[in-house]
Amino acid sequence: MDVQGYRWVYWRVWLCRWGAVLSLGLLLILFHWRPRLAVRARCCSCPLALADVLLLRDSFGQRYVVEVLTEDMEDSSMELVADLEDSDWRDTVQLHREEKTLLRYYLFEGLRYVWLARKGAFCRVSVLNEDWTCNDLYSFQRGLSHLEQSSRKKVYGPNLIDVPVKSYMRLLVEEVLNPFYMFQVFSITLWMVDKYYYYASCIFLISLLSISVSLYETRKQSTTLRSMAQLVTNVTIRRSSGEEECVSSVELVPGDCLLIPQEGLLLPCDAVLLAGECMVNESMLTGESVPILKTPLPAGEGRYSSQAQRRHTLFCGTQLIQARGGSSDGGGATAVVTSTGFFTAKGDLISSILHPQPINFSFYRDATKFLFFLGVVALIGTIYSLVVLSRSNATWTELVIRALDVVTIVVPPALPAAITTGTIYAQRRLKSQGVFCVSPPRINVCGKVSIFCFDKTGTLTEEGLDVWGVVQAGQAGFSELLPDPRLLPAGPMLSALACCHTVALLEGQPLGDPLELRMIQSTGWELIEPEGDQKALDAEFGGHRVLAVMRPPAQEVSVSEAGAIVRRFPFSSSLQRMSVVTVAPGGRPALAFIKGAPEMVASLSLRETVPEQFSSILRNFASEGFRVLALGYKPLDGKTDWRTLERGVVERDMQFLGLLVMKNMMKPESGEVINTLKLAQLRTVMVTGDNILTAVNVARNCGMMGSDERVMFVHATPQTAQSTPKLRFHLGEGGTQGTMEVLTEGLYQSGISYHLAVNGKSFSALCDYFPEYLPKVLMRATVYARMAPDQKTQLVKELQKLNYRVGMCGDGANDCGALRAADVGVSLSEAEASVASPFTSKSDNISCVPLLIREGRCSLVTSFSLFRYMALYSLIQFCSVLVLYTEKTNLGDLQFLFFDLVLVTLLAIVMGRGGPSEEVHPRRPSASLLAVPMVGGLFLHTSLIVLGQLAALFITKSQDWYVPLNSTKTGAANLPNLEDTSVFALSGYQYIIMAVVVTKGYPYKKPLYHNVVFLCILLILFAVMTWLVLCPGPVFSRLLQLNNIPDMNFKLLIVALAALNLLTCFVLELLIDHGLLSCRLLRGNRPSKKKYKQLDLLLSDCPSWPPLNQALSSAQYTVIGLS
C-alpha cells in the first residue's frame, strides 16, 4: 500500500471554508466526491513522521484518506512492555519536548496501523507479535499483569470486530450527496423551472421512496452484519499472580492466558492451544460441518504461524464444543490469545465483506465508460438544441433550460439500478434452490466461467469411505487382502487401526473425520474418554495423562490389550500424516503409531520394513480408485515426558505395518454434471490431496478423462546440492509401443487426446524452477494430486494469470483459500451461508455448479438487456425531443410521465423475471458493453428510431388536413399539436418495441412466453397504445394534450408504421445476433486477447511438445512464448 503524508496548513483550511461559503456548499460536495482534492487543497506534503492526514492507495489503485490519531501512554507502562517484548515496542512511541509519550496510529478498514520510527513507516500492529516463537507463547501461560494488559490494550486496541452502523441522518446525507441523487435533484429543479410540475413531483416522490428503502436496507444489512460479527462475552483469564479473573472479551489482548471451560464457548479471539484438547466446529469460517479436534502446540524455537499450526489454533467465531485435559481434574483447556479484533480470522473475513475487492469484470468496468459515451451524445444534443432554438428567437433562459433538459433525458438516472435487476432476480432463484450468495455481483461473473476446479473427497466422491480391507507387511512382503480388520491377529496393526485417530466423544457420540470413524468401526474397538475422576484412569495406565482409551471387544480382551492415547499429533495437509502415542495398562509398552499417505509413511519408515512390492501394490490399488492409507509404529521409552515430545522425534524410524484400503464411492450426480460441463466446452479440473493414481481413476469414472484418452504424468524435481532442476513427461497406464511412437511423432497431428497429471511436489517445482513451462502444463493438466491448501490457492491464481475465469467447488476446510481466490467459489456446506466463499450450496453434490453457470449467464444477459433497454429508452426520448425542438414544440408534462412510469418503468421491472435455460450452451455470453455489436447495434437501432419518428412527422405534414402549429409559441406551450401527437404515438410504440427486441431468450434464458407476467404486460401496453392512437377519447386527449385527429386511415397508417418499425428492429437484432457486426467480419480473424486461447493455438502447432521421457532443464530448453 502506498502511503503519503500531509499536514494541515491553517490558512488553506480557512480559505477552503470561505470557498465553501461562497460556492453555496458546492466546494464541500466536490471534496466529498474527491477526498484527495480536499487533502491537497487544505494540506501540504510532509514526512510520514509529521503527518496529520494520510493519503492511501491500495493495490487496485483506489485512494483513501485517513487521519492520524494519537494516544497518551504511561512511561512506566511502556518501559514494562518494552522489557517484555523486542525493541519494536519502543518504536511505537514518540517523545515530544514536553516529555509526553504518544502512540501515533491510524485505522483503516478496521485494522490498526502504528508508527514504527525505526522502520520509518506505519505498520500493522500485528507486526509486534509476528515473530513469536512457540516457546514465547508457552511463556505467556503465567498470564499478564493488570499493567501489562492495560498497556497492550492501548497499543492493540479493544478486542472488537466493530461493524459501523450509521445513523439514518448520516446515511441520508451520504445518500443525497451521491452523484446519482445530486443529478436527480438537479433534474427535478430544472423540470420545476420548466413547469413540468406533475412529472417533477412524481419523480421526487419515487426518489424519496427509493432513498427510504435504500436507507432501511443499508442500515438493516449493517445491523445484521454487526450482530453476526460482534461478539462480546465474559471469559476467564489467568493473571501473572496466578489468580483467575473473569473479564469482558473486549479487554483481551495478545498474550492473555485464556482458560477454556469444559463445556466450551464461542471463541471471541484467535488463540493457540497450549494445554488440553478442544473439539471445535469451524463451519462458520470454513463451511466444514465435521467438528475438528485441536491439540496443544508443540514447544520449540520455531516461529508460530496460525496457518502452519492450524490444528493447534482456535479461531475467532468458531464454536468450542468441549474442552478437556487441560487442568489437574481433566477438564477444560488453556490457550494464549494471539490476535484480536479485525486481525483475527473472523475479522479478516468480515473485513472482506465490508470492503470487498473490486471485481475485475468488463461488464462493470464498461458500465461507467458507457455513461461517458452517453454524456458525449448529450453534448451533441445540447449543441444541436442550442442551434435550433437560437434560430427560433428563444430567450437565453429558454435556451439554457432546453439545453440542460436534453442532458437529463440522455443520461437516464435509473441506469445504475437497471444493472442490478437481473442479479437480484437470479439471487432469489438461487436461494429458493438452496444456493446462498454473499457477493451478488459475482452472479454475473458465473456467466463467464471458463474452467471449473473440483475437490475430490466429499465433492466428487462420497464423504464417507467403506473399508475394503487391510494388507499387512512382513518379511516375505505383503499379505493377501484381508477384507475384515476384525480378523487381524492381536498386534501392532490392529492397535494402529484402533488407536491412530483424532475421534472424540460428544455426549457419548463419536465425532470426527468420517474416514477415521469407519476405520474404528471396522475394528470393533470401543472409544472411552475420561469422565469424573481422571486420576483413576491415569493410574490404570501408569500415571500418564490419558486423553482417550481404546478397548477391544469383550471377546478379544484375553488376546488384545486396551490402549490409552496420551499424545496426539493431528493430521496436517502439508505433512500428509498424523500420529499418536499410546500406552498399555501399567504404562508399558509405549508405542507411537503413524497413519497417512503411503509415500509419506514409507519415507519415514525403516527401509528394511517396507516391502519391495510397495510401489506396485500401491499403484494397483490406486489405479483402481481405492483410497489407500499406510500405517506404521515404533516402541518408545515409557519414561519419556509425552507433553514435551516433539513430533519429528515420534515420526521417524517407524516400522512399516501395512496398508488400509478404502473404497470411495462416486456421487451419482458427479458424472452427469461433468458431462454437462464438457458438452458446454467448459474445462474441468480435479484438485485433491489424494494419491495421483486414485485421482486419475476418479477422473476417468466421472468423465473428466475419456476411456480412450491417454494420461501423461509430469515429474518436476527441485534444485538440490547434487542436482539441477529437471522436468520429465512420461506416459501413464495403457501406453503400448505403437502408441508411444505415434505420440512422439506429434500428439496433435495424430489426433490422440491426452491429459497431464501433476502432483503437489511437481507443481511447486514447476512454479519455482520452470515458470516458462508452467502455462503449457496448466493448459493440458486435468488432475492435480497431493495438493496442499496453499498449492490449491496458487493453482487458482496461476490459471487466472492465463485469463481464465476460474470456478472452484469444494466442501470447505482445506479448500478455503482456493474458494476465496477463485472468481466463483462454491462451498458445499449445510450452513445457510459461509463467509468462506461467495456461494454456499446446501446440497452435498456438485449439481449446483451447472445451476450457478445457467443463472449467471441468465443474469448477465438480463443485465445486458436492461442496460440496452434503458439506453435505448433515453435515445428514443432524446430523438423525440430533438425532432420536436426542430418543430418548436416539445412533449407535454403528462406525456413524459406516461412514457417513464407507465411504459418504461413497468417493463423494466418485469423484463428480468425470465428464468435461465435448462441447458448450458457451449458459447458464453458477451460481457463487454463497449463491444462493436453492442455499440453498433445501439447506433443502428437509434437510426431506425429516428427514421420512424421522422416518417411519422412527414406523413402527418403530407396530409390534406394538416395545420401548422403556432410559430409564436415554443415548447410545451404549443400543445396540443399534430406534430407532437404523431411523434408521441410512434415513440410510445418504440418503447414497447425495444423491450421486445432486447429481451433475449435462447440459448441463455427461457423463451419469452415463459415470462408470463412480462408477456401479459407487453400485450396490455400494446393495447393501451393502440387505443390512445385510434380512439383516446376526449378525457385522455385532454390529459395527455393530444390532438384529436379524425382521420382513421391516418391513425391506422401510424399503427402500420409502428408494426414496420417492430419488424425492421427485430430483423436487425437477429442479424446482429448472427454476426452482422462481429469483429471477424469487420477486422478479420484476429487472435483472441485471452492468453489461454493464444497458448492453445500455439500448442496446436507445436508437434514436439511435450517431449516424452526426456529430462528438460529450465536453462537449456526454450518454450513457445505467449506473446
Lowest average pLDDT, out of 92-106, 275-289, 628-642, 916-930, goes to 92-106
Sheet holding 244-248, edge to edge: 244-248, 234-238, 257-260, 333-339, 270-275, 313-314
pLDDT score of 588: 73
| pLDDT for 880 beyond 90 | yes
Mean pLDDT score of the chain, rounded to an integer? 84
Of 646 and 987, the structure prediction assigns the larger pLDDT to 987
At residue 106 the predicted structure's pLDDT band, cuts being 50, 70 and 90, is very high
In which residue are the cell numbers 417513464 written? 900
pLDDT-above-90 percentage for the chain? 32
- Mean pLDDT score, 915-927: 89
| pLDDT for 753 beyond 80 | no
pLDDT score of 1117: 43
At residue 98 the predicted structure's pLDDT band, cuts being 50, 70 and 90, is very low
| pLDDT for 601 beyond 90 | yes
| pLDDT for 76 beyond 50 | no
* pLDDT tens-digit series, residues 1108-1119: 888 888 754 444
| pLDDT for 112 beyond 60 | yes
DSSP line for 430-456: HHHTTEEES-THHHHHHTT--EEEE-T
* pLDDT tens-digit series, residues 281-337: 887 776 666 788 888 888 888 889 888 788 899 999 888 988 887 776 667 889 999
| pLDDT for 1082 beyond 90 | no
Q: Say what angle helices 396-410 and 848-886 make with each other, to 10 degrees.
A: 160
Of 722 and 679, the structure prediction assigns the larger pLDDT to 679
In which residue are the cell numbers 495421483 written? 692
| pLDDT for 38 beyond 50 | yes
- Mean pLDDT score, 114-127: 87
- Cell numbers found for residue 915: 428464468
Q: Is 131 annotated in the active site?
A: no
Instruction: Please state, in angstroms and as integers, the Cα–Cα distance from residue 429 to each residue in 26, 829, 1016, following that order.
Output: 43, 18, 21
| pLDDT for 810 beyond 70 | yes
| pLDDT for 657 beyond 90 | yes
Lowest average pLDDT, out of 433-437, 619-623, 739-743, 853-857, goes to 739-743
Instruction: Determine the Cα–Cα distance for residues 777 and 740; give it in Å rounded to an integer.
Output: 19
For 129-160, letters b (16+ CB in 10 Å) and e give beebebebbbebeebbeeebbebbbbbbbebb
Active-site option among 256, 270, 348, 455: 455
pLDDT score of 100: 55
pLDDT score of 452: 95
Instruction: Determine the Cα–Cα distance for residues 20 and 990; give it in Å rounded to an integer.
Output: 46
- Mean pLDDT score, 98-107: 74
Instruction: Determine the Cα–Cα distance for residues 235 and 393; give it in Å rounded to an integer.
Output: 81
In which residue are the cell numbers 515420526 written? 651
| pLDDT for 765 beyond 60 | yes
* pLDDT tens-digit series, residues 140-167: 989 899 888 888 888 899 999 888 888 8
Are 294 and 310 spatial neighbours (Cβ–Cβ below 8 Å)? no
Nearest to 337 by CA among 394, 217, 279, 253: 253
Q: Which residues contact 372 (CB under 8 A, 6 or more apart)?
A: none
Q: Which residues contact 417 (CB under 8 A, 6 or more apart)?
A: none
pLDDT score of 741: 45
Nearest to 102 by CA among 69, 146, 76, 124: 69
pLDDT score of 742: 43
Q: Hey, which of 237-251, 508-522, 1081-1095 has the most confident mean pLDDT?
A: 237-251
Are 293 and 512 spatial neighbours (Cβ–Cβ below 8 Å)? yes
Of 583 and 1080, the structure prediction assigns the larger pLDDT to 583
Lowest average pLDDT, out of 284-288, 676-680, 710-714, goes to 284-288
pLDDT score of 806: 95
Q: Hey, which of 171-175, 396-400, 659-663 has the most confident mean pLDDT?
A: 659-663
- Mean pLDDT score, 260-280: 89
Gyration radius from the chain CA atoms: 36
Are 784 and 686 spatial neighbours (Cβ–Cβ below 8 Å)? yes
Of 568 and 289, the structure prediction assigns the larger pLDDT to 568
At residue 1083 the predicted structure's pLDDT band, cuts being 50, 70 and 90, is low
Whether omega for the bond prior to residue 589 falls within 30 degrees of 0, making it cis, is yes
| pLDDT for 378 beyond 60 | yes
Q: Which residues contact 1105 (CB under 8 A, 6 or more apart)?
A: 747, 776, 1099, 1119, 1120
Whether omega for the bond prior to residue 1032 falls within 30 degrees of 0, making it cis, is no
At residue 995 the predicted structure's pLDDT band, cuts being 50, 70 and 90, is very high
Of 249 and 475, the structure prediction assigns the larger pLDDT to 249
